[in-house]
Chains A and B, each alone.
Chain A
């Protein structure tokens, strides 16, 4: 454990009372920050202070605080999910900062994800994309023995790489165009790579892409910012695979 002394920082936070309200950046001084604290624990301390003073604490989302639930998502000093590579903001620790630092904290500023309050945004469009086809239509009880369908190990691993997506929305927040293609591509890829997903491949690609387009996301111009910030290192090869699935489906499907 580092034994460096506690320090103070200033956080500039986006405050917005509700979806229709105007928002603004507000500065707060946070004292007695330990380098071993997580970034969100620093915000907890600030919030406790605000509550004690009868003020309004900063609304932000987080739950598991170990980088898997996908709840958290902040832009810290312009970095989506903070300065650490391939991690969520709940995994960021204060030892990354120095005494006197001014830290800018903002929500995902994505048109399709309206701010509900302060740093909390509505990411339900991602669920609607999944509902459009991010599944394999097998009813409970109908499955054959799990080993009846062998799956090439390399493909299974690749499917797992894509399936690691936590649905945090960082890809959209970081995209210059606000596209959700990494998210959508990851799910289409996972299911396209597995033989179990084959019967619905064409329809899935068409439906999920259509649903994605309907939610008000931008288009992919292959800037690859999403891959650079993705906490789970989901690759843009998944977007290419989605494009391929979509093109082939358009060319050969009867719909």
Chain B
């Protein structure tokens, strides 16, 4: 679960970087997508990613079923002592939310007609408030999941060191925080800021 989690976390960072390309404009974004699609390795990477993802789910379910069976049960009163965080306590729920979101994500972006061009498809989706709301919820779940998941993966892999663990924990939180970037991008398009920027750009051209 830890190893697959780290790979998936890494993938999300790459994915975020891709999305940032949106800001470079239609040509840049579509160019990158075309490059990806024309690369013969891409389907293999996609299968690899699927494999990692399924592995993450299977190991996760396995661990959680065992935990469910063995968890202390029946305390009348129970107080957490500060080890638990919102992120760690909600891993199962954020996992479910992420999975649900992913299905939606696939249905809206992956298994659809791509003829209008990827840039148009993405930005027009972002202009829908419903889509953006779902998108924000998905990235929030992801951020929460990673807020625990990243450092937890290092710990599980045995990478704990008095010097580096604080850095790992901070880094994990930073990666989690970065996931809100997805939400910000969609908000940017929802608010039509790109159009305003384009307008401003056009005006500048006129002035010149």
A–B touch (CB < 8 A): the answer is yes
* Contact with A75, one of B63, B75, B91 (Cβ below 8 angstroms): B75
How many A residues have CB within 8 A of the partner chain?
48
Q: Is A253 positioned at the interface, with any CB of B under 8 Å from its CB?
A: no
Chain B residues with CB under 8 Å of A177's CB are 66-67, 70-71
List residues of A (232-255) whose CB comes within 8 Å of B's CBs.
236-237, 239-247
Specify the chain B residue showing the minimal Cβ separation from A180: B70
Q: Are A223 and B88 CB-contacts (below 8 A) given A109-B74, A229-B81? A: yes
* Contact with A223, one of B75, B84, B158 (Cβ below 8 angstroms): B84
| Count of inter-chain pairs, beta carbons less than 8 A | 121
Specify the chain B residue showing the minimal Cβ separation from A235: B160
* Contact with B71, one of A75, A106, A176, A247 (Cβ below 8 angstroms): A176
Q: Is A104 positioned at the interface, with any CB of B under 8 Å from its CB?
A: yes
**Chain B proximity mask over A110-147: 1 for CB below 8 Å, otherwise 0:** 11100000000000000000000000000000000000
Residue pair A245, B158 in contact (C-beta under 8 Å):
yes
Q: Is B111 positioned at the interface, with any CB of A under 8 Å from its CB?
A: no
Specify the chain A residue showing the minimal Cβ separation from B165: A237
Specify the chain A residue showing the minimal Cβ separation from B160: A240
Residue among B73, B79, B83 with the highest chain A CB neighbour number at 10 A = B83
* Contact with A243, one of B77, B78, B156, B162 (Cβ below 8 angstroms): B156
Q: How far is the CB of B17 from chain A (nearest CB, A)?
A: 27
Chain A residues with CB under 8 Å of B66's CB are 177, 218-219
Chain B residues with CB under 8 Å of A236's CB are 155, 160
Specify the chain A residue showing the minimal Cβ separation from B74: A109
Chain B residues with CB under 8 Å of A172's CB are 72
Residue pair B88, A222 in contact (C-beta under 8 Å):
yes
Residue among B69, B77, B151 with the highest chain A CB neighbour number at 10 A = B77
* Contact with B81, one of A219, A221, A225, A237 (Cβ below 8 angstroms): A225
Q: How far is the CB of A160 from chain B (nearest CB, A)?
A: 16
Q: How far is the CB of A247 from chain B (nearest CB, A)?
A: 6
CA gap between A220 and B77 in the complex, in Å: 22
Residue pair A111, B78 in contact (C-beta under 8 Å):
no
Q: Are A106 and B76 CB-contacts (below 8 A) given A112-B70, A219-B66? A: yes
Residue pair B81, A222 in contact (C-beta under 8 Å):
no
* Contact with B77, one of A104, A110, A179, A237 (Cβ below 8 angstroms): A104
Specify the chain A residue showing the minimal Cβ separation from B81: A228
Chain B residues with CB under 8 Å of A79's CB are 79, 81
List residues of A (17-74) whose CB comes within 8 Å of B's CBs.
25
CA gap between A176 and B165 in the complex, in Å: 23
Residue pair B148, A111 in contact (C-beta under 8 Å):
no
Specify the chain A residue showing the minimal Cβ separation from B159: A240
Q: How far is the CB of B58 from chain A (nearest CB, A)?
A: 14
Chain A residues with CB under 8 Å of B151's CB are 222
List residues of B (117-176) whose CB comes within 8 Å of A's CBs.
148, 151-152, 155-162, 165
CA gap between A236 and B74 in the complex, in Å: 26
Question: Can you name 12 A-B residue pairings with CB atoms under 8 Å?
Answer: A78-B79, A111-B69, A177-B66, A177-B70, A216-B70, A218-B67, A222-B155, A224-B88, A225-B80, A225-B84, A226-B83, A240-B160
Where the two chains meet, the residues of A that have a C-beta atom closer than 8 Å to any C-beta of B are: 12, 14, 25, 75, 77-80, 104, 106, 108-112, 172-179, 216-229, 236-237, 239-247
Known pairs A178-B72, A223-B84, A226-B83; list 8 more (Cβ under 8 Å): A12-B76, A75-B77, A106-B76, A173-B72, A174-B81, A216-B70, A223-B83, A229-B83
